[in-house]
A and B are shown apart, each in its own frame.
Chain A
Amino acid sequence: MNRKLIGVTALLLSIPFYAQADAVSDLEAEYQAQGGTNFNATAGEALWNKEFIDAKKGDKRSCTKCHTADLKKPGKHARTGKAIEPMAPTVNPKRLTEVKQIKKWFVRNCKWTLGRECTAQEKGDFLAYLKNL
């Protein structure tokens, strides 16, 4: 009886972690199916900090422009000034918990930053970098 209760409680408590692990590993599996391999946190970090020149406006863009380089700190939207909560899942447990959210923001943010959608490899590398912060 008591054991069961502890077991259920432990299960309930672990849901947030499962959710993250779930969302990220689901996506990693998907990106692998699309041709990505050996997702690599170092490559993800490099891409995160890399600057891209916008083809139309000529300004420099990078993921850090909105999320800052220190992912444990809150960011600020480069175009609107709105505050963005920290990216690191250790500081902000809500991060990387929903497949739909992550996909949507990859589309939005890659298009604005890189001027195109990211490849499966790039997205996998980003996740490998972000998930362990």
Chain B
Amino acid sequence: MTQRKRKGGVRETKVRVWDIPIRLFHWTLASCFVIAWFTLDNRYLDVHIFAGYLMGGLILFRLLWGFIGGPYARFRDFAFNYSKVQNYLKDVLNKHPPRFLGHNPAGSWAIYLLLGLGLSVVITGLLTFGGEERQGPLAGLLNFPQGRFAHELHEWLSWLMLGVVIIHVMGILVESMLHRENLVVSMLTGFKTSAAGAISTLSHWKIGATMLVAIITAGLFWFQGHLTETPEQLYQPFHGPALPDNSLWREECGACHLAFHPSLLPARSWRAMMQKQASHFGEDLFLEQDAVNKIETFLVENAAEQGLTEAAWKINRSIPQTEILLRITETPYWIKKHQEISDAVWEHPKVNGKIDCAACHIDAAAGTFEDAAMHLPDDVEATATSE
């Protein structure tokens, strides 16, 4: 540990404190955090998930680097106990904190907290992704209610992490002012000034370059679908599970509109709809009794109660048990999810009203309604934002 006393006349040299892997880790992690924060919206889920994976990978790397990295990167360089932190903070209050070339005691605790919180956020994120979206390595590990719980935990931990990030940044500013040095620039260039004799770390540029190549390759691999998509064949980042299908249902119920998947309404709604097939929203379906029975069986067996998808589970729990709704578009969950869409969008020539699910959901025919498969038609987007 190199402490510097501010005495005049001591010859000062430049010391490399932060090697390239540490700097790359630091700024990529910070970017991931910001990116993840701005891609909370479901339609950017693939970006959000990528930021999460990258964050997890970076933190694992950092844990390893804490044992095998350069002198200032190792945990034993900044393993301070509580009383050291307390003393340091007292010195800060007296405006004369000692200077540390590596992490100071208070800063080190922020680092540990950030690493721990970051890892917890990534893990709860994976649990949410697996539980609510049925995607990723933990797909299906949790059921929907548990996935929802993981989701809430994920959000709380993220807020906590944001709090520590803010404290960390304020600490940097305070220390920079008290010591009249720019710590932000140091984290960019890697250098600090110090009395002669302090050791410099190696740059470890080869490891840094490997990291960079790995990150870029992973990014290209993850997002390649966006580069190869065409207007006819839009890219869908995540594919839901193949849902139960039935050719009679698809043919009969898909003749006038999209064949709305059974998972989008509860069984009692389907029973009522099939009973009243002679007055189906003003149409007489005129189906033979045999066809009615077969279709009804398929609809009831795969109704929303079965929780085949996240949407099914959420639609079902949003409807009061006493109500029999015949429209998906009148279920509270559907209304809530679409309330921000303006009339101009519904009336847009490329959108044939509320029941034209396929105009905005790439996977409407499959019935999965994945979060990231929502894609407003391009010129609709313009209408939506110009209002």
Contact = CB atoms under 8 A, between A and B. Distances in A.
Interface of A: 77, 79-82, 104, 107-108, 111-112
A110 to B, nearest CB: 9
A125 B257 CA distance: 28
B352 A104 contact: no
B257 A111 contact: no
A79 B356 CA distance: 10
B256 A81 contact: no
B283 A111 contact: yes
Contacts of B285: 108
B257 A107 contact: no
9 contacts: A79-B256, A80-B352, A80-B353, A80-B355, A81-B356, A104-B286, A104-B287, A107-B284, A111-B284
A109 to B, nearest CB: 9
B208 to A, nearest CB: 54
Given A80-B352, A82-B258, A104-B286, 18 more contacts: A77-B257, A79-B256, A80-B256, A80-B257, A80-B355, A81-B353, A81-B356, A82-B256, A104-B287, A107-B284, A107-B286, A108-B284, A108-B285, A108-B286, A111-B283, A111-B284, A112-B282, A112-B284
B279 to A, nearest CB: 10
Nearest to B252: A104
For the complex, would chain B's binding face be called helix, strand, loop or mixed by DSSP majority?
A: loop
Contact of B256 (A77, A107, A111): A77
Interface in B240-292: 256-258, 282-287
A82 B287 CA distance: 20
B353 to A, nearest CB: 7
A2 B282 CA distance: 57
Interface string B336-355: 00000000000000001101
Contacts of B258: 82
Nearest to A83: B352
Interface residues on B, range: 10 to 19
Nearest to A81: B352
Nearest to A109: B283
A112 B285 CA distance: 11
Contacts of B353: 80-81
Contacts of A77: 256-257
A108 B257 contact: no
Contacts of A107: 284, 286
Contacts of A111: 283-284
Interface in B286-318: 286-287
A108 B356 contact: no
Nearest to B356: A81
A108 B256 CA distance: 11
Contacts of B256: 77, 79-80, 82
Contacts of B287: 104
Nearest to A117: B284
Nearest to A80: B257
Contact of B283 (A81, A82, A108): A108
B327 to A, nearest CB: 13
B74 to A, nearest CB: 64
Nearest to B284: A111
A94 B355 CA distance: 27
A62 B285 CA distance: 18
Contacts of B283: 108, 111-112
Interface in B339-377: 352-353, 355-356
B257 A82 contact: yes
A57 to B, nearest CB: 9
A13 to B, nearest CB: 26
A72 B163 CA distance: 65
Contacts of B284: 107-108, 111-112
A101 to B, nearest CB: 10
Nearest to A76: B352
B277 to A, nearest CB: 11
A124 to B, nearest CB: 19
